[in-house]
Structure 1
Amino acid sequence: MGGAKLFFTVFYSTVLIVSLVGTTLALENLSMTQAEKEKLDQFKEAVSKTTFPAEWMQQELTFVRYLRARDWDVRRAKSMLLETVAWWEENNMKDIHNEDWSNIEKDFPLHTDGVDKLGQPVMVLTFAEWELRQAAVQGRMDHVIRWFIKGFDDVHLKSFEYHKRGKTNGTQWNLIADMDKLSRQQHLCIQCLRFYTELAITFESRYPGAIDKIFVVNAPSIFRVILGLINPILSKSTLNAMQVLGTNKEEWGRAIYPHFAKDQLPENLGGRRNYSLVWNEIS
């Protein structure tokens, strides 16, 4: 009888999480105990009167991610989500994709129209093209940081949209950063350092649990400076998702190519991706 009860509890919890987000997901998203299910119900009740400014915020998977980010403490998870709601409104996030980015996107290119082999979207950038010091000197750093947050939000929205369309079974996304030619002068100046810390804080506090895989390739030894800044900020799940790879193409190719087809990667990563002319287009 006890064995049957245990089987039912495990089965029920697994079916519950599948019903939240689709037919199958990464293993980490399939495990939820009965106690955690009860915490989720408490959380849903606690935020039931909240007006959410974005559809993804009121998804049950979002609730689960915020609970996990706060160790299933309902009060702290609610506070975290309400802070995100306030941040969203204070920063006018509803209009971020309609702003004029013409003076930024050429100098700081990033792309979000590729996918991995599971259909999950990926944000790709070649960091050598980003002259952060120049942005700081010109007083554009806040705008560049907002541009990168736009990238976060764009790929995040696409993950939910692809899932809604049945293109994917999950709602996580990926990041590939090519650190070839990372420069102390252009990327590690004193004024540049808040770029990394502010983005790490924004990601962990506003999009917890959203990342599936992070690949940092062609990382020189000075990348350790950036890691030293953001490691204390990043969650365990984010750190576990990150692979920092050196300049050996065979090495990072073995890590990346099993997950991404060549037509989803740019030439500098050994691919043949032709990026969309419409930056925010869902292809």
Structure 2
Amino acid sequence: MISKFAIIVSFIILKVNSATFEEDVTLTIKQKMSLDEFKERVIPSITKNYMKTELYLVKWLRSSRFNLDLAEERFRRNLQWRKDQKMDSIHDEDWSDMWNDDIRYYIDGRDKLGRPYALIEVKHLDIRKLILKGLGDRYVRYLDKGVDEACQLVHEFGERYGNISRGSLIMNLDGFNIVQHVCIRCMPYLIRGLISFVDHHPECLDKTILVSAPAMIEQYVKLAVSLVPKEISDNYLIYGTDKNVWKTELLKYIDLDQLPRSLGERKYLKEWKTRKYQNVFNFFGETMISKFAIIVSFIILKVSSATFEEDVTLSLKQKILLDEFKERVIPSITKDYMKTELYLVKWLRSSRFDVNLAEERLLRNLQWRKNQKMDSIHSEDWSDMWNDDIRYYVEGKDKLGRPYALIEVKHLDIRKLILKGKGERYLRYVDKGVDEACQLVHELAQRYGNISRGNLLLNLDGLNVVQHTCARCMPYLIRALISFLDHHPECLDKTIAVNAPATIEQYVKLAVSLVPKEISDHFLIYGTNRNVWKPELLKYFDLDQLPRSLGGTKIFEGMED
């Protein structure tokens, strides 16, 4: 479920504003004057000839809505990025490891207008394997290399023939597999690659065509595309597995001799014979990306839930496995709370009682805690986060005496933090907050004996997709959520969100309706009607444990600063 919505995020980011060549080269007098001024500002900093052409420069200006200052800032950031990433020599590097791992793309094909298209075949890709091998950052650089090569070809053709300004993308989704292609750990890297494309190659892409899409993915993406303007949706085409349908559509844009064998024709693409291949920032802004990204975040937050009785009940076979697990890992543990059966069984149960997997995960967690200096993280100075209104509160308790973490989004501005270059510090701050909340669960469990999990309460009053879930924010948010899943199994019971904007409430309720009842019962989301959500909150919390912002009387430390 996480990945299905994440796929939509990825595909929508891919769909940037499209246009014909005539539209790309047609300017009003006022726009032409802006272009002339833009050229005067940036050309002295340019060393590459293709970057000095009006056809190239106008892409930066138009994608900035002819805001000269914004276009200049984006363009200069791009020049610096190209220098920092050594993009001028990236194509000379040895990429045989990616090719041998079947991470391949092809740019040999042309459409009926002579424009290049990039082809990606997902059947033999295994992005998850790359990530698990620690090659995530190399994969992102490989994506940058592929996009740069394709867009350079567009520039080359533009200079050579004079009537080409964009290319197209064809994705053959035959063999698509959510586990291998859009796993949770893969998504930060995929989104980084996509954002890099949007940031550094404006108006390079015209049509995006997906074929052999699994039925569920086809439905989700068609739903998403139906929500965007027609001038965009007409350039985003997705087809299911019926070859008679998608082949007919492909032939409207591409001749038979330019389609590969995997798409039913005879073109041999570069290196094709080496194996048996069958072998947003955009016109409508960040809003659509962020709506789906919010769903990804909320769904990830809903991990397996249970009552205390379920948490402490084991079968005889499970108890034997727990004893074996304890023997293996306790010699490596220094913290007393980690030696308790209540703590250890969380790793075992979340690993489906696979002792080897549980041991591997727990030992990785111990190493992570050491590397991140988690034992001293709470002694660090976090006043900068607090002063930037990045706050959380863990003093509240539910009616069962369990702690809950409260997050109020109204004054948060995650985007500002990212733009200030504090994304990594924000991640560490989130790790600190999660660790503090989960440590409180362990502490209360040892003190009272009947507590195994806590809750999360989100007040979404003032939620703003630009500030809270911007496209540049999502890699950090997803990394933070993955860190939570990796290092704090079964810490969370209920997730309750109130004051959700109508569209977010509808999307998340739709998503939650598709998961099993034992999970959906532990994920509650309510809109902005106080008369609805307050009675629901009072089922779980007393008034003296709710903040004033939610109609209670409790004053949390620092909340009213």
TM-score, normalised by the number of residues in structure 1: 0.80
Residue in structure 1 matched with residue 489 of structure 2 by the alignment: 208
Residue in structure 2 matched with residue 105 of structure 1 by the alignment: 386
Q: Check the 8 A contact 1:263/1:273 in 2, yes or no.
A: yes
Q: Which runs of 5+ in 1 are unaligned?
A: 1-24, 279-283
Residues 46-195 of structure 1 mapped to structure 2, 5 A cutoff: 46-52=328-334, 54-106=335-387, 107-166=389-448, 169-195=450-476
Following TM superposition, by how much is the alpha carbon of 1:237 offset from its aligned partner in structure 2, in angstroms?
7.5
Instruction: Name the CA shift for 1:117/1:67 in 2 (closer, same or farther; >3 Å).
Output: same
Which string of whole-angstrom CA distances, capped at 9 and with x for unpartnered residues, describes residues 111-147 of structure 1?
Answer: 1111111111111011121101100100112222222
The secondary structure found in structure 2 opposite 1:47 is helix
Q: After alignment, is 246-255 or 103-112 more displaced?
A: 246-255
Q: Check the 8 A contact 1:211/1:238 in 2, yes or no.
A: no
Which string of whole-angstrom CA distances, capped at 9 and with x for unpartnered residues, describes residues 70-99 of structure 1?
Answer: 100000000110111011011110111100
Of the two structures, which has the highest relative contact order with CA contacts closer than 8 Å and spacing of 6 or more? 1
The residue type paired with residue 427 of structure 2 is I
Q: Which runs of 5+ in 2 are unaligned?
A: 1-306
Q: Given the alignment of the two structures, is residue 257 of structure 1 paired with residue 538 of structure 2, yes or no? A: yes
The secondary structure found in structure 2 opposite 1:48 is helix
Q: After alignment, is 215-224 or 82-91 more displaced?
A: 215-224
Instruction: Name the CA shift for 1:88/1:139 in 2 (closer, same or farther; >3 Å).
Output: same
Instruction: Name the CA shift for 1:225/1:207 in 2 (closer, same or farther; >3 Å).
Output: farther
Structure 2: how far apart are the matches of 1:235 and 1:164? 31
Instruction: Name the CA shift for 1:81/1:89 in 2 (closer, same or farther; >3 Å).
Output: same
Q: Check the 8 A contact 2:311/2:452 in 1, yes or no.
A: no
Instruction: Indicate the structure (1 or 2) with the bigger Cα radius of gyration.
Output: 2
Q: Percent identity?
A: 29
TM-score, normalised by the number of residues in structure 2: 0.41
Following TM superposition, by how much is the alpha carbon of 1:255 offset from its aligned partner in structure 2, in angstroms?
2.2
The secondary structure found in structure 2 opposite 1:128 is coil
Structure 2: how far apart are the matches of 1:90 and 1:26? 32
Structure 1: how far apart are the matches of 2:434 and 2:491? 10
Segments of 4+ moved more than 3 angstroms: 221-228, 234-240
Q: Check the 8 A contact 1:211/1:241 in 2, yes or no.
A: no
Following TM superposition, by how much is the alpha carbon of 1:222 offset from its aligned partner in structure 2, in angstroms?
5.3
Structure 1: how far apart are the matches of 2:529 and 2:558? 31
Structure 2: how far apart are the matches of 1:123 and 1:270? 17
Structure 1: how far apart are the matches of 2:506 and 2:525? 13
Following TM superposition, by how much is the alpha carbon of 1:171 offset from its aligned partner in structure 2, in angstroms?
2.9
Q: Check the 8 A contact 1:204/1:235 in 2, yes or no.
A: no
Aligned length: 249
Which string of whole-angstrom CA distances, capped at 9 and with x for unpartnered residues, describes residues 175-201 of structure 1?
Answer: 101111211211121111123312221
The residue type paired with residue 112 of structure 1 is V
Instruction: Name the CA shift for 1:48/1:226 in 2 (closer, same or farther; >3 Å).
Output: farther
Structure 1: how far apart are the matches of 2:356 and 2:443? 29
Q: After alignment, is 83-92 or 269-278 more displaced?
A: 269-278
Instruction: Name the CA shift for 1:237/1:145 in 2 (closer, same or farther; >3 Å).
Output: farther
Structure 1: how far apart are the matches of 2:505 and 2:399? 30
Structure 2: how far apart are the matches of 1:31 and 1:273? 35
